[in-house]
Amino acid sequence: MKFSVKTRDFTYPIVVEQGALERLDGVCDLERRVLVVTDDGVPEAYAERVAAQCREPVVVRLPQGEATKTLESWARLLQTLLDHHFDRKDCVVAVGGGVMGDLAGFAAASYMRGVDFYNVPTTLLSQVDSSIGGKTAVDFGGVKNSVGAFYPPRAVVIDPQTLKTLDARQVACGMAETIKMAAAFDADFFTAIEAGLSADDAEALIAGALRIKRAVVEADETEKGLRRALNFGHTVGHAIEANSALLHGESIAAGMLYFASGEARERIAALLRREKLPTETDVAPKRLMETLLHDKKAEADGVVVVRVDEIGTHRLEKLSQEALWDVLTQHASKGGRS
Ligand code: MG
């Protein structure tokens, strides 16, 4: 399966194919210096398979996890590029999850004012969501994604076979973002997931999510309007993530239910439970509020949230700090239950 995504400057392909990792050189120009960026949570064989197809590969393996998404890691990648005399015609390939894509993408965006970037996402979350749309970033000053650039990849290569080695919790995180997109944009896709579509049928699931994400980012590449709706679940979700041991997708799962209502809320909660995702958090409303006000999404006169009142639709709403506090405390008093 092949999709293409239009950006302001060029169109790039997304290839979704069993075994695509072995045939990267058919999609990407690897006849040059290639920095392969991966982490120690990704099976070594994946980066090796990529490196084997490059004329001059340099592999960097970083520690797994969000804590790696720093300016220090970014500087380490830039130093490696300099040490190996990369020039503007060389390229960077990320092999891993969203952290690798964000970090390696930002290194590619900034080195010599930009070198080609290819993304090989190996987690369900990055395959359905973060690899598409050109957002790159590191965390800085205690704020997630506070330094970065819109920098689309030249190609995204998705090999669903990589999901076979992914642990169940990581798969569930990808389901959380998929459920999010279906809930806010596509009632038919949501119904298909309810009817049993899951990561067991990875190609169909990924294709469904990618169609939504592509349409949204093509309509609004730099997040001035429609794309903000992809933040459904993320306003409170990021605050939960920052204050708990939950993973990104798990935090977003719990975060969605604060801003869903009626039957839509019931249906989302039922899917989250089926995927063994959390529907509540034990982080106190006060902690969440403090983090929210520190977050870049908090503007002086309030916080923009995404609401889903009916599956397949969404609306943006600006909440004052008082109104946001009411949402947090009412949700907590309900025990987060639906
Ligand atoms: Mg997300």
| 275-319 pLDDT tens trace | 999 999 999 999 999 999 887 555 667 889 999 999 999 999 999
| 87-124 pLDDT tens trace | 999 999 999 999 999 999 999 999 999 999 999 999 99
Please state, for a pLDDT cut of 70, what percent of the chain lies above it: 97
pTM: 0.92
Cα(223) to ligand 1 centroid in Å equals: 14
Cα(227) to ligand 1 centroid in Å equals: 12
- Torsion angle, CA of 88/93/97/103, rounded to 10 degrees? -20
Residues with active-site annotation? 113, 135, 177, 213, 223, 227, 231, 234, 238, 248
The mean pLDDT value of the chain amounts to 94
Average pLDDT over residues 227-238: 95
| 173-222 pLDDT tens trace | 999 999 999 999 999 999 999 999 999 999 999 999 999 999 999 999 99
| 15-47 pLDDT tens trace | 999 999 999 999 999 999 999 999 999 999 999
> Looking at residue 336, what is its pLDDT?
52
Cα(101) to ligand 1 centroid in Å equals: 13
Cα(154) to ligand 1 centroid in Å equals: 21
Cα(126) to ligand 1 centroid in Å equals: 9
Confidence of residue 338 (pLDDT cuts 50, 70, 90): very low
Confidence of residue 144 (pLDDT cuts 50, 70, 90): confident
Cα(255) to ligand 1 centroid in Å equals: 11
